[in-house]
Structure 1
Amino acid sequence: MAGLEGRPPETKKGQLVVAVLIWLLTGITISSLNKWIFAVYKFRCPLLLSSLHMLTAILVDYPLLRFGVVKLKAGEDVALTAAARFRVFLLSLSFCASIAFGNLGLNYVQLSFAQMVYSTTPLFTLALSKALLGTRHHMLKYTAMLPICLGASFSIIGEVQFHHTGCFFLVLSTFLRGLKSVQQSSLLKEERINSVTLLYLMSIPSFCILFTAALVLENRAVWETPSRQDNTLWLFILLSCLGSVLYNLASFWVITFTSAVTIHVLGNLTLVGNLVLSQILFGSQLTVLSYAGIALTLMGMSLYHNCDLVAGRLGSKTAKSK
């Protein structure tokens, strides 16, 4: 899953579509699985769940790399420098913190609320890519952030079960999601690290951090977790772990094809799917403001993805008027 240089445009487009579809489907599935684990089975160990996600990534990625299942391209098999390894460690910190805060937030709020807060991630990513990488963006992309964030605000106001602690955790998670995407983009494109390799390298310190935190903060919750239907609970946890590996690999792939900002704008497409599942599985109630927020968010996404087309038409109209 490396860069696409030298491949026909049709191949690049086809692989991008496949990567985006996998990413969207696994994202919707994992969010619903995690909420089901927390809400239905009263599983009170979000940090432990996050650490299991990282452990699964290690167990899956190691044999893929060790036995040559993943073919590395020229430049990808070079040993990483100390600076690059340190950057991977920083990515691990951002990654596990964003996951942990997100899972903590889901303990307090509905899935629909969480997804609406996450819809503001493109704004954080846009600002961070400008501040950290010096990336220049078209003015229309900044304009598109207005309906995206306004839509999220409407949805928060319209959410029936607002919780300040949950909102705080989710905002922190959202900021860190933007930061880790910028870090991922830099490592994948500048350091030319293969997607599977990057996930494997970052999963090791992430697992150590999250598992240690779980032992310290959640040791009592483990014993308080209901024992009924244990087999079904652990089946859902296994599915969540396997899905997280596929989701993370797909997200790295999409970032390689596009950018750190684009992946989060695309991620807002999961909004509709998660809201539907939240209503079906958890009985979430959406108000008129919530639906208005969805509409504004989707409008902002449309403007973002078509900013070049809009800019071209505006430019042609300006030229004609002169």
Structure 2
Amino acid sequence: MITADGLPKLEATPAATRPSEMLHLLSAVFVWLVTGTTISSLNKWIFAVYNFRYPLLLSALHMLTAIVVDYGLIKFRLVQHRASGEQDLTASAKFKVFLLSLTFCASIAFGNVGLNYVQLSFAQMIYTTTPIFTLAISTLVLGKQHHILKYTAMMPICLGASFSVMGEVQFDQTGCLFVFAATMLRGVKSIQQSILLQEEKINSVFLLYLMSIPSFLILAVAALALENWAGLGSPLQYDRRLWLLIVLSCLGSVLYNLASCCVISLTSAVTLHILGNLSVVGNLLLSQLLFGSQLSALSCAGAALTLSGMLLYQNSEVIGRFLHRRRAQPPGEGHADHRQPHGKMD
């Protein structure tokens, strides 16, 4: 819907209004940012330092961990899933969950494969464009109206990511394609999650449990078919610290996915990835500390542009209301007080 001043009305997104809901949202955002910052570094450390060349297997282990953890939470009634239960899900909802599983496992698989070829800083810069894909999908496919300033904010985000890609010291075409595919799929996945969480009213833990089962099967079959298991050898041949990092990566992925579902259910899919750009700074610092990544001046300028676009997006409603009040103000009203004293001088 378009207002009289030509600006579309702000989209109606779920928001946490009560203090308890706000605390829940802030906790979910904090966990999501922390786990999102550390998981990429953990996975890159596993691939780069320990030369673990089985990204699909690692992704399958992530899903297996999600199944075990979520089943335990549901079994012992530590969380309340959808009141009507899984058996009361409609055929349409079950099909949507299966499609989400396909998108989900493809996104994390492409992301892990991409980390085998590119620096962590490069991957994180490409991931900053996820809001663009999410906003485009929600507009074109779902027909949602967004404020014009939100579209404007995508320009510095996209331009900043382009600068970062052009300024990257080490570039690998194969890795770039995998990371871009993972980025696009992350946007699609968030839209699918938003529909299931907000329209189908499925609990986040229950949703992650439902989609983890087919995701694990798909990733396990893909790992068996596509990865050379002959070189895996006995698990005892690997350093125990490697398996500790894999366990931490699996547990962190469960927390990350649960937190992302909570954030989407309380805000929106686009907001999730806009907030996710806050983790870019942390990932870039970790990339420099752990892997010695070198960022050029162009990459730093791209990061600054991306973060400025994120700030514009987050404050688009405030800026939009301010512009609307300025346009609605009668002409010359702000100068009336300055002209009046001259009429009283005589």
TM-score class normalised by the smaller sequence = over 0.9
The aligned runs of 1:144-183 (5 Å cut-off) are 144-183=153-192
Unaligned 5+ runs, structure 1: none
| SS of residue paired to 2:145 | coil
Q: Give the aligned residue type for 2:73.
A: L
Q: Which residue of structure 1 aligns with residue 22 of structure 2?
A: 13
Identity between Structure 1 and Structure 2 (%): 64
Q: CA deviation at 1:74?
A: 4.8
Q: Which residue of structure 1 aligns with residue 34 of structure 2?
A: 25
Greater Rg, structure 1 or structure 2?
A: 2
The aligned runs of 1:296-311 (5 Å cut-off) are 296-311=305-320
Q: Give the aligned residue type for 1:34.
A: N
Q: Which residue of structure 1 aligns with residue 202 of structure 2?
A: 193
Deviations 1:155-199 (A, max 9, x none): 001100011111111111111000000000000011000001000
The aligned runs of 1:309-320 (5 Å cut-off) are 309-320=318-329
Q: CA deviation at 1:11?
A: 1.6
Q: Give the aligned residue type for 2:185.
A: L
Q: How many residues align?
A: 318
Please report the TM-score for the alignment, with normalisation by the length of structure 2: 0.88
Q: 1:111 aligns with which of 112, 120, 126?
A: 120
Q: Give the aligned residue type for 1:32.
A: S
Q: Give the aligned residue type for 2:35.
A: T
Q: 1:34 aligns with which of 17, 38, 43?
A: 43
Q: Give the aligned residue type for 2:194.
A: S
Q: CA deviation at 1:106?
A: 0.5
Q: CA deviation at 1:72?
A: 3.6
| Residues 74 and 62 of structure 1, relative CA distance in 2, 3 Å threshold | closer
Q: Is the 8 A contact 2:16 2:266 kept in 1?
A: no
* Structure 1 consecutive aligned stretches of length 4 or more whose deviation exceeds 4 Å: 5-8, 73-78, 224-229
How far apart in 1 are the matches of 2:85 and 2:204?
A: 10
How far apart in 2 are the matches of 1:266 and 1:216?
A: 37
| SS of residue paired to 1:57 | helix
Confirm or deny that 1:256 pairs with 2:280: no
| Residues 8 and 115 of structure 1, relative CA distance in 2, 3 Å threshold | closer
Deviations 1:31-88 (A, max 9, x none): 1000000000000000000000000000101121122111246566772111111110
Q: Is the 8 A contact 2:82 2:202 kept in 1?
A: no
| Residues 237 and 189 of structure 1, relative CA distance in 2, 3 Å threshold | same
Q: 1:215 aligns with which of 201, 224, 235?
A: 224
Q: Is the 8 A contact 2:194 2:269 kept in 1?
A: yes
How far apart in 2 are the matches of 1:306 and 1:74?
A: 36
| Residues 267 and 313 of structure 1, relative CA distance in 2, 3 Å threshold | same
Confirm or deny that 1:138 pairs with 2:139: no
Q: CA deviation at 1:320?
A: 2.9
How far apart in 2 are the matches of 1:195 and 1:308?
A: 28
How far apart in 2 are the matches of 1:232 and 1:173?
A: 28
Q: Is the 8 A contact 1:45 1:221 kept in 2?
A: no
Unaligned 5+ runs, structure 2: 1-13, 332-346
